[in-house]
Amino acid sequence: MNGKLRVNPEVREHVLAAVKELGYRPNKVARSLRTQASRVLALVVSDISNPFFGSVIRGVEDVAGSADYLVVLFNSDEDVERERRYLSIIVAERMAGVIISPTSERKTDLSLLVDNGIPIVTVDRLAKTSGTDTVRSDNVEGARLATAHLLDQGYRRIGYVGGPAAATTSRERLVGYKAALRQARVRFERRLLSAGDFKEESGHVVMTKLLEAQPDAVLVANHTMAIGALRSLREAGLRYPDDLGFVSFDDPPWASLTHPSLTVIAQRDLEIGRQAAHLLKQRILEPDRPAVRAILQPELRVRESSLRPVP
């Protein structure tokens, strides 16, 4: 098929007869990808429907494209088994490196990549594999800033809508929430704590349950769950900030367009993607250099939803 002459003539005739009978045509794109695998990077995200990862993807592609790398995207959809299958494909295709947002710190297994010498950079979350480069937000500080802001506004029964315990982002944001309460000497109430799965429907279900504890404010751990939480407030006939204060992680375009506008913890998601791609390029060139752990500071953007009305 490749025009090589060192083939038994009889074998060649059999192969060409089969090609003619089956109507086979070589896939030139697939062949190019395989032969140029050293210029292909894999990007594995935990939820492609989350606009946070859309910005991360853009940042990765900005850097990778300028360095003549092709980026192949995989969406694990918070599924460890799907993630494991994708990692096997990445190894089989001999890709040059991987940027991954691990589904679970405990269950995500990157040893297959490590054993095959494939460079790794984790983004947004950590994995149990040590010695990998990582780029993520300071989740503890972000949640502390949000909770402290609500406390400064006079709120005292602040609810927290978190994500899955398997995700380091969720656990770290819970730490920041508790730290702010502790610094203000406000008692932590377990019934004001609830957890979803970082997706919209869970935000709706969890917020509906949380309202039974009668919080006077709430911090939601990502903006996808915030959409569901806001739907729950509307169904309950509640408005922010008149009935309760509201702050969410992430700053999607609609956050400043709602009425009242939404106070958020903005992450540097585009920069996370860019730094991850830079680190992966360096790791490919210098496989033995020390691991880099870059932590980017988030920003509290105060808008109307968290400003307690003056009596």
Tens of pLDDT, residue by residue over 135-179, are: 999 999 999 999 999 999 999 999 999 999 888 999 999 999 999
27-137+269-298: CATH topology is Rossmann fold (3.40.50)
pLDDT at 72 over 80: yes
Collapsing DSSP to helix, strand or coil, 110 comes out as: coil
Give the separation between CA 263 and CA 301, rounded to whole angstroms.
6
Regarding the domain delimited by 139-266+300-306, which CATH topology (the fold level of the hierarchy) does it fall under? Rossmann fold (3.40.50)
Task: Give the CA angle between residues 246, 251, 254 to the nearest 5°.
Answer: 85
Residue 7: what pLDDT? 81
Mean of the per-residue pLDDT values of the chain:
92
What percent of the chain has a predicted confidence (pLDDT) above 90?
80
- Cα–Cα distance between 226 and 216 in angstroms, integer? 16
- What is the distance between the alpha carbons of residues 101 and 161, in angstroms, rounded to a whole number? 21
Whether residue 86 has pLDDT greater than 60: yes
* 37-58 confidence digits (pLDDT tens): 589 999 999 999 888 999 999 9
The residue among 265, 295, 271, 222 whose CA lies nearest residue 58 is: 271
**Where along the chain do the CATH 3.40.50.2300 domains lie?**
27-137+269-298, 139-266+300-306
Q: From CA 176, how far away is CA 181, in angstroms rounded?
A: 9
Give the pLDDT mean for 201-226. 96
3-state secondary structure of 47: coil
* Main-chain dihedrals φ then ψ at residue 246, nearest 5 degrees: -145, 125
pLDDT band at 30 (very low <50, low <70, confident <90, very high): low
pLDDT at position 106, please?
A: 87
Phi, psi dihedrals of residue 170, rounded to the nearest 5°: -65, -45
Distance CA 52, CA 124 (A): 10
Token output for 204:
């709706």
Give the C-alpha separation, 288 to 284, whole Å. Answer: 9
Q: How confident is the model at residue 225 (pLDDT cuts 50, 70, 90)?
A: very high
* Neighbour-count burial for 109-121, b at 16+ CB within 10 Å, e otherwise: bbeebeeeebbbb
